[in-house]
Amino acid sequence: MKTERAPRDCRRLDGLGVAPGIAVGTVHVHDAGALHAPEYRIAASRIDSEQRRFAEAVQAAMRQLGTLKRRAGKLPGAAGEELGYLLDAYQQMLSGSRLVRGVNSRIAEQRINAEAAVKHEIGELLTAFAAMEDSYLAGRMADIRDIGQRLIRNLTKAPVRAFSSLGRNTVIVTEDLSPADTALLDPETVCGFATETGGADSHTAIMARSLGLPAVVGVQGLTGQVSSGDTIVVDGTAGQVIINPDAEALCLYRKRRADFLRHRRALSRLREVPAVTRDGVRVHLNANMELPTEIDATLYAGAEGVGLLRSEFLFMNRDDLPDEDEQVELMRPVVEAMNGRPVTIRTLDAGGDKLGSLVGGRISPNPALGLRAIRLSLAHVDLFEAQLAAILRVGVIGPVRILLPMIGTPEELVQARRILDQVVRRLHRRRVPLPDPLPPLGVMIEVPGAALAADALAYHADFFAIGTNDLTQYTLAIDRSDDTVAHLYNPLHPAVLRLIQFSCEAAHRAGIPVSVCGEMAGDPRLTPLLLGLGFRELSMSSTNIPRVKQRIRQMSIHEASRRAMAIMTEWDAARIGALLDDFNAALA
């Protein structure tokens, strides 16, 4: 007999809509701390080979921990020592311990695969530790989980596919989704997500927009109010989630979803026409890319090039560093697919909310202000050189530009150029073919100090890309991924606008190209302002290109410049927003 599920209360929760569109689907509550492993039964004849596979995974883990320990040894002071002790403890956990014995007997007795055996054994250890009510042991639980994850990763020989066995139309609900987790979402099965934490321009939000997944972040108390299997609506346009919607609400949101998709399809026809203002000024619209899987969307949107390839994807969801050859192979498809259109490759921007502990294993006490981006590259020159060499090598396939993140001083750029020159010489000696001319070397303007020193930077740089996300964060001292201050994060603050204007003018005076590649560039509401300030090149999530192009084709530069000048005399962000809205309303 079929059991009827009692209808649940329809609940509506507010958050911050960070990627537009509407998803209607089934909830999958994701626990970031949980172990994800394939599970299946094995034949008796496979017990030996499964135990061998496990022994190899343990050996690999020992080697990885050894490498980490050597790196930790080079860290200054107590941090290196502490990390060394921790890694010793990890190695002990793996040498003939209860964990190893337990996994082997599970494989033999329960006849399950090694990944499942690890997962169950770790689960039992965690339960035993939790029952001891000892704060020291409670602290070790994270370590045990970490070891389990490492073993499972070694067994599957791939990043943990946390979202690999989901059905179609799944909505991920979780406390927090890291950019690396977001990179694992498959838009074929996942149709949207909602989280308790996060800000509008956090990297997770940016990835949601790039993948075209409706998303709402900062929904307080969300995970306590839903269970896997519930029906949910994520309205990324209005910033709401509706849990267990009633029939009427479901019908309404399905219609809104259909309208949204129809509108998006209609806009996509604009890809055939150029971005030209009514008074004939041509604007170049490029795409930002976080993952090579976005190539099709980038081409479909009619991007004229890639204005920002965030190379963090090369380093995500793995615990070793890719060498030069591997980086070439990972970037090659992007440059090839762009087929002669320029690709701006940004060197690694680890740190902040991205790949926090990639190198050295130590998390900075204040990651946004710590050893991130270019600082990290200059501190780990071998890593930087491998990346520069790989970029130079893909530059033979198609035109590339090299972009340095988070430059703060001209010295950093000078130092980076010196390293680039050395890499060029080394590749020459290895007789590796190089692009001729060599790729331009540009800088992100995303630190207030860099904007204020834009004249000096323009003297050394081949081009500027203005990163308004970090520029807003650092100018206003507001963490871009913190939902508790998200309402204060406002790129229309006059201080931010003045820094943008100043940088644009410095680039024009020096005669170097300048673009905006932060999220402001993809917001059609702000297009008249950016063009009025003098920008003729914008780079954005490819999903935004049609909307921005439509706005460009509606406006005249003459009128936009006049309005921008008036706006720049204002000091109140709300009034600036109102002036922009007036202008946009007159265009539509």
Query: What residues make contact with ligand PEP under the rule CB under 6 A?
Result: 206, 308, 310, 349, 446, 467-470, 517-518
Helix axes 545-554, 573-587, angle to 10 degrees: 70
Q: Which residues does 416 contact at the CB level (< 8 Å), separation at least 6?
A: 374, 377, 378, 384, 404, 441
- Residue 518 contact, options ligand PEP, Mg ion, none, Cβ 5-8 Å cut-off depending on partner type: ligand PEP
523 binds Mg ion (CB under 5 A): no
- Residue 294 contact, options Mg ion, ligand PEP, none, Cβ 5-8 Å cut-off depending on partner type: none
| Stretch near Mg ion under the rule CB under 5 A, chosen from 37-45, 141-149, 284-292, 470-478 | 470-478
Phi and psi (nearest 5°) for 420?
-60, -45
Of the candidates 28, 30, 203, 493, the residue annotated as catalytic is: 203
In the complex, minimum distance from the CB of residue 308 to ligand PEP, in angstroms, rounded to a whole number:
6
Tell me how many residues contact Mg ion (CB under 5 A).
Answer: 3
Q: At which residue do the structure tokens 């406390």 appear?
A: 175
201 binds Mg ion (CB under 5 A): no
The nearer residue to ligand PEP, 301 or 517, going by C-beta atoms, is 517
The nearer residue to ligand PEP, 218 or 467, going by C-beta atoms, is 467
Q: Do the beta carbons of residue 297 and residue 526 sit within 8 Å? A: no
Q: What tokens were used for 266?
A: 């209609």
Is 504 part of the annotated catalytic residue set? no
Q: What tokens were used for 533?
A: 């300030």
In the complex, minimum distance from the CB of residue 22 to ligand PEP, in angstroms, rounded to a whole number:
25
Kindly state the greatest CA–CA separation across the chain: 79
- Residue 125 contact, options ligand PEP, Mg ion, none, Cβ 5-8 Å cut-off depending on partner type: none
| Stretch near Mg ion under the rule CB under 5 A, chosen from 12-20, 152-160, 438-446, 492-500 | 438-446
Helix, strand, or coil (residue 37): coil
519 binds Mg ion (CB under 5 A): no
In the complex, minimum distance from the CB of residue 521 to Mg ion, in angstroms, rounded to a whole number:
13
Q: At which residue do the structure tokens 């060029």 appear?
A: 424
Please state, in angstroms and as integers, the Cα–Cα distance from residue 537 to each residue in 245, 401, 503, 526, following that order.
Answer: 43, 15, 14, 14
In the complex, minimum distance from the CB of residue 402 to ligand PEP, in angstroms, rounded to a whole number:
15
In the complex, minimum distance from the CB of residue 93 to Mg ion, in angstroms, rounded to a whole number:
38
Kind plus residue range of the DSSP H or E element containing 560: helix 557-567
Q: Which residues does 500 contact at the CB level (< 8 Å), separation at least 6?
A: 451, 466, 468, 471, 516, 533
Order across the sheet with 231-235: list the strands.
11-14, 240-243, 231-235, 22-29, 170-174, 190-195, 215-217, 16-19
446 binds Mg ion (CB under 5 A): yes
In the complex, minimum distance from the CB of residue 349 to ligand PEP, in angstroms, rounded to a whole number:
6
- Residue 517 contact, options Mg ion, ligand PEP, none, Cβ 5-8 Å cut-off depending on partner type: ligand PEP
In the complex, minimum distance from the CB of residue 389 to ligand PEP, in angstroms, rounded to a whole number:
22
The nearer residue to Mg ion, 420 or 517, going by C-beta atoms, is 517
Kind plus residue range of the DSSP H or E element containing 256: helix 247-268
The nearer residue to ligand PEP, 521 or 557, going by C-beta atoms, is 521
Q: Whole-angstrom Cα distance, residue 200 to residue 149?
A: 30
State the residue number with the nearest CB to Mg ion.
470
The nearer residue to ligand PEP, 277 or 468, going by C-beta atoms, is 468
The nearer residue to ligand PEP, 442 or 518, going by C-beta atoms, is 518
**Binding to Mg ion in span 450-469, by CB under 5 A:** 467
- Residue 310 contact, options ligand PEP, Mg ion, none, Cβ 5-8 Å cut-off depending on partner type: ligand PEP
Is 203 part of the annotated catalytic residue set? yes
Q: Do the beta carbons of residue 461 and residue 441 sit within 8 Å? A: yes
- State the amino acid at position 482 in one-letter form: D
The nearer residue to Mg ion, 196 or 470, going by C-beta atoms, is 470
Q: Whole-angstrom Cα distance, residue 428 to residue 433?
A: 7
Please state, in angstroms and as integers, the Cα–Cα distance from residue 122 to each residue in 128, 131, 146, 153, 189, following that order.
Answer: 10, 14, 10, 14, 29
Q: What tokens were used for 364?
A: 């900075």
Enumerate binding residues for Mg ion (CB under 5 A).
446, 467, 470
Residues annotated as catalytic are 203, 517
